[in-house]
Amino acid sequence: MKAIATMPDSVSPVSAPPRVRFAPSPTGFLHVGSARTFIFNWLFARHNQGTMVLRLDDTDVERNTDASVQSIFEGLRWLGLNWDEEYKQSERLDLHRAAAETIFARGLAYRDFTPAHAGDDNQSSAQGAWLFNPGMREMPREESDRRAAAGEPFALRYRVPRGEGRVLHFADGVYGAQSRPTDEVEDFALLRSDGMPTYHLASCVDDADLRISHIIRGQDHLTNTYKHLLIFEALGAQAPQFAHLPLLVAPDGTKLSKRKHGPVVSVTTYRDAGFLPQAFVNFLCLLGWSPKNDRDFLVLDEIRTLFTLEGVNRANAVVNFTEEDPFDAKAVWLNAEHIRALPVEELAHCLTPFLEQAGFHAAPDKVAAVAPLIRERIKLLGEAPAAADFFFVDKLPGYDPAELIPLKKGETTGDPALALRVLESARQVLAATDFDHDSLDKALREAATQLGLKAGPMFQPIRVAVCGRKNAPPLFETLVVLGREVCLARIAEAEERIASLG
């Protein structure tokens, strides 16, 4: 990162509480990049006691769907960050059209009768003819009126000043002082030939009308800002402050896109895999922003307190994922941290849907008992069923009986007879001992001593017998949660398995 912004976010000298907005267009699920933009806006609003506005930018009837609207709300609700006001752009069309008329009446726009899509493929010519539509911009008003009256469709274009030496300026809250001659800004559309406003028009009209004070959005809008400046001016409105956020990019360096990068860019993918929203938010905040205090694990309250636009940097941030590993390792680690930070009851609550989805009967007591045993062993909630299956199934899935038999270092075959003796002894102990952690601990260690065994070779057969695998939570806690009956039955079954090994 180089050179610091001249006027970071101290741009607005004194300060009515800010009003910011998040304005997604409902053309798909909630994108992680959009989620981050939303979060940063929310943080800015809440840090400054401002207002958070949610506005659906749905002026593209061709591409907007209700399903998408639902999915975006679903994503936002999951994040758990609230907003104060809500608008739908499609319900404000009168406002947009009136604004377009005003701009046209002021002579700041012209009708463009070029058929839609006419210029889709031809490249801009060398002298910059792409800046405007020749023949349209200079068309006499009489001809324009006549053709319009005759019903010929037209788009309304902004007449960007040419050859006046005018330069547009703004102070970006992240990128600093920005400027561009109007000669380099093309004549952009305000109204489509079907009469619908374009994004540029609708968004600026609404931002002005809703008295948005700060527009915080992706850096891909940086160069659009000059057009927006022109619209605010034509509207006679004071332009808001702008702050552009560095982009979230894929490992290939390009902007994250659903088409190119698949479901890993959808917020719901994270939710479904078992991310905690607070962990996801924590992760996203660290992409392009730093608390500058060497801390990574942060809760929302801390982030809100610490958040400023000065902490936002300018280089694009890579979200690291691969085909095999769809989630950034840091996101996963943060999630594990947040899981461990959760009180047991809350963790149990979060775990339940995942357990149920795996077909387990997740009784609240049971889940609460299991949660502390797996909390350090899972990084995603979605890993819970695999980590805790043996607590919930009636019958253990098949496992390799050889695992019941401990191997000494360097050996390839163990001693089945010894394993059998361990299990027999364990069965007797479990049948006779109080079923609590300390009693079990004491009794089983005594049994080990009697067999002349250390803890390892004593506990492995028991663990595998009751869990069906070698890697599992601590033994005594596990036995207690499982209960005496289940343990005895599984040990007996394990003995049969060894016997059947021959």
Return the active site residues. Answer: 258
Which of 74, 186, 233, 383 is close enough to bind RNA by CB under 7 A? 186
By CB under 7 A, which span of 99-107, 170-178, 392-400, 420-428 interacts with RNA? Answer: 170-178
Query: In a 3-state reduction of DSSP, which class is residue 85?
Result: strand
Q: Is 178 or 425 the residue whose CB approaches RNA more closely?
A: 178
Does position 135 interact with RNA (CB under 7 A)? The reply is no
Does position 146 interact with RNA (CB under 7 A)? The reply is no
Does position 311 interact with RNA (CB under 7 A)? The reply is yes
Does position 175 interact with RNA (CB under 7 A)? The reply is yes
CA distance linking residue 162 with residue 334, whole number of Å: 52
Which of 148, 167, 329, 417 is close enough to bind RNA by CB under 7 A? 329
Convert residues 201-220 into a mask of x (bound to RNA by CB under 7 A) and - (unbound). --x---------------xx
Residues whose CB is less than 8 angstroms from the CB of residue 204 and which lie 6 or more positions away in sequence, other chains included: 228, 231, 232, 235
Q: Is 15 or 223 the residue whose CB approaches RNA more closely?
A: 223
Beta strands 189-191 and 317-318 are unpaired
Residues recorded for the chain:
502
CA distance linking residue 267 with residue 205, whole number of Å: 30
By CB under 7 A, which span of 333-341, 350-358, 423-431, 484-492 interacts with RNA? Answer: 333-341
- Pick from 392, 397, 479, 493: nearest CA to 431: 479
Convert residues 391-420 into a mask of x (bound to RNA by CB under 7 A) and - (unbound). ------------------------------
Q: Is 1 or 16 the residue whose CB approaches RNA more closely?
A: 1
DSSP state at residue 429: H
CA distance linking residue 103 with residue 117, whole number of Å: 24
CB of 6 to RNA, least distance (A): 8
Tell which positions 8-37 bind RNA, by CB under 7 A. Answer: 23-25, 27
Tell which positions 350-369 bind RNA, by CB under 7 A. Answer: none
CB of 500 to RNA, least distance (A): 24
CA distance linking residue 429 with residue 476, whole number of Å: 13
- Pick from 416, 399, 354, 404: nearest CA to 380: 354
Helix (H) or strand (E) holding 421: helix 416-432
Which of 86, 101, 164, 376 is close enough to bind RNA by CB under 7 A? 376
Angle between helices 437-451 and 455-467 (to 10 degrees): 120
Which of 107, 165, 253, 452 is close enough to bind RNA by CB under 7 A? 253
CA distance linking residue 296 with residue 306, whole number of Å: 12
Tell which positions 91-130 bind RNA, by CB under 7 A. Answer: 112-116, 118-119, 124, 126, 128, 130
Convert residues 283-302 into a mask of x (bound to RNA by CB under 7 A) and - (unbound). ---xxxxx-x-xxx------
CA distance linking residue 101 with residue 205, whole number of Å: 12
With b for 16 or more beta-carbon neighbours within 10 A and e for fewer, the 183-198 pattern comes to eebbbbbbbbbeebbb
Does position 335 interact with RNA (CB under 7 A)? The reply is no
